[in-house]
Amino acid sequence: MTWISPYPLLHHVLRLVFSEALWSLSVIAGDRPQVALTFDDGVHPQFTPPLLEVLAAEGVTANFFLLGQQVAAYPELTAQLWQQGHWLGLHGYRHRSFPRFTATELRLELIKTQTLLAQVTGQTPQRFMALRPPNGIMTPRVMTWLKAWGFRVVMWSVVSEDWRSPGIDTVVRRSLEQVHPGAIIVLHDGMIGGQDVAAITAKLIPSLRDRGYDFTSLGLALPPPRALGGQDSAQG
């Protein structure tokens, strides 16, 4: 049976509703096309280290949307991500849908995760002003809050449903079927879906290079962050 992803249609609708979010990278004519590899739900003590080994061997800078509870549990592993030059964003403290929070609860949840990342990396909390909502679930009300607090929402344009564990080759194939210049590819290195992430990435990176793609950091695609409350904050 042919796999048909519902996400392209869903993304088309959501991009219209949440146009302020970053769904893909800008494409510059004449340049070698770039994609961003992003990983959600980490860090994980079993799945993240072998993924880092693959990224280091391939010389690829990736992007990690981290859960605060995982940062708190594994600060040294989180610090390793930063020290190896990977870009870090927020995925909430727990993997709880943002619309389930009140504004006060959500803001505290995000500040808590920012503070943890700042402590681990030696940066300021305002360095970490980009986030991806768990499961990509948003509402206009939540987007209004996040914009008012100065956060930038990053979504994705390539999703293979790796969290369903369909198999390494299947995830790679689905990703290649959807990829495009400027794609933001989402994978998972957490408890759900993370068991195959290193092997998937080891196959996906050379396959993308064979198709002419380079890899980039979301830090190059996002404007300098603003502090909570809308105050300007320079990117270090």
Give the integer Cα–Cα distance in Å for 112 and 108.
6
Say whether 12 is catalytic: no
Annotated catalytic residue within 41, 86, 188, 196: 188
- Using alpha carbons, list the distances in angstroms from residue 113 to 69, 110, 218, 220: 8, 5, 19, 22
Annotated catalytic residue within 40, 41, 162, 196: 40
Describe the crossing of helices 197-210 and 48-58 by its angle, rounded to 10 degrees. 20
Of 219, 196, 217, 199, nearest to 207 by C-alpha is: 199
Burial class (CB in 10 A: 0-12, 13-18, 19+), 217: middle
Within 59-139, residue ranges assigned H as helices are: 68-73, 75-83, 103-121
Of 67, 36, 17, 23, nearest to 187 by C-alpha is: 36
Residues annotated as catalytic are 40, 188
